[in-house]
Amino acid sequence: MQSPDYLHMVGMEELMDQTFPVKEPVIDGLLYKGVYLFAGAPKIGKSFLVLQIAYAVSTGQAIWDYQVHRGAVLYLALEDQYRRLQERMARMFGVDGHGDLMLAVAAKQLGQGLEKQMEYFLRRFPQAQMIVIDTLQKIRETAGDRYSYASDYEIIGQLKTFADYHNICILIVHHTRKQPSEDSFEMISGTTGLLGCADGAFLLHKEKRTDHRAILDIVGRDQPDQRLRLLRNEENLTWALEGADCELWKEPPDPLLEQVAQLVTPEQPVWQGSGAEMLERLGLKTTASSLTRRLNVRAGQLYATYGISYKNIRDRAGSHITLRLETEPV
């Protein structure tokens, strides 16, 4: 019988012998699977930018200098009307629609049927990448003007559980408060529980409300902090990338992954063998266990950079590695 005080623990050696699922990007270096907040002051243009992101994902078109992974998108425009959406999208993208961007102006609240509605969309579009909720306030129960840290953390936690289970991105539009702060992300309305539970956040802000330029600050667990300078096209209302305060981030090359990637080719897309056999093929001066543990940690980057999936099954005889070329690198 298991003790009521049982605590499941994992040692460092056991942890390093495990391989975890890759955190897949929706937009390389910008947006990943999971839950993200997109905050900004009212009427600053955040819904236009979020719609632009949604359209890019649904069509697979690159946004600015970022590569997009195409998939269906559900946009819950819960503060809008179909008439306004029609006018806005025609102005932004033209009148030739795209079937993988679905729009809704009404939905149930979280815990009262929204999850079932989102699952309905995912059943209809199994290759879906993203659901946009515009805005957070429309899907949560009214609690006056104040929400606790616990309630903020809980609502994002529920959406994160859903996103992780279904392997999609949920992008949640939210407002900022009027009070300025040294840390711009502290301007997000509500408690720090919102950002604390989310996988990342975007914050759109301007120095002057009438300015056509804006700053987009980005933080996330799976990417470095970024600050992008945007310029709004007043003719079609889309946002263009004017510049960045740092270079668009890319993972630095890993010499080990470069060598491992040479083991598979389009002509021979699968390589199988033990850690010792891989060590011999690569001519490396290390141990087989050290090699496989490094690959366990870097499996996500191997896939993201070279399109190679990595599987490592261990038994008493050692490790059994499978490399498979899934997609050729961009």
Residue 211 confidence (pLDDT)? 86
Q: Is residue 12 part of a domain?
A: no
Section 114-128 average pLDDT: 97
Written as six digits, the tokens of 223 are: 């990417």
Residues 237 and 279 in one domain: no
- 46, 135: one domain: yes
Establish if 6 belongs to a structural domain: no
Same domain as 260, residue 239: no
Q: What is the CATH number of the domain that holds 286?
A: 1.10.10.10
CA distance 122 to 24: 17
Tell whether 73 and 222 lie within a shared domain.
yes
Pair 240, 118 in one domain: yes
Specify if 3 maps to a domain: no
Grade residue 144 by pLDDT with cuts at 50, 70 and 90.
low
Where among 219, 244, 269 does a domain terminate? Answer: 244
Asked if residue 200 lies in contact with residue 220, where contact means CB atoms within 8 angstroms, the answer is yes
| pLDDT for the residue numbered 186 | 60
Rounded Cα distance, 166 and 161, in Å? 9
Residue 145 shares a structural domain with residue 43:
yes
pTM over 0.95: no
Residue 88 scores a pLDDT above 60: yes
Question: Do residues 146 and 171 both lie within one domain?
Answer: yes
The last residue of one of the domains, among 222, 244, 266, is: 244
Q: How many domains does the chain fold into?
A: 2
Which residues make Cβ contacts (< 8 Å) with residue 312, sequence separation at least 6? 19, 292, 295, 296, 319, 320, 321, 322
pLDDT at 206 (0 to 100): 87
Residue 189 has pLDDT above 70, yes or no: no
Is 231 within a domain? yes
Q: Cα separations (Å) of 279 from 57, 275, 289?
A: 40, 6, 10
Same domain flag for 29 and 99: yes
pLDDT digit string (tens) for 238-288?
999 999 886 555 667 889 999 999 999 999 999 999 999 999 999 998 998
Check whether residue 84 and residue 197 sit in a common domain: yes
- Domain hosting residue 115, numbered range: 25-244
* Residue where a domain terminates, one of 198, 218, 244: 244
Between CA 141 and CA 47 the distance in angstroms is 22
Beta bridge partners of 93: none
Residue 20, in any domain of the structure: no
5 lies in some domain:
no
* Co-location of 59 and 168 in the same domain: yes
- Say if residue 115 is in the same domain as residue 207: yes
Together in a domain, 178 and 54: yes
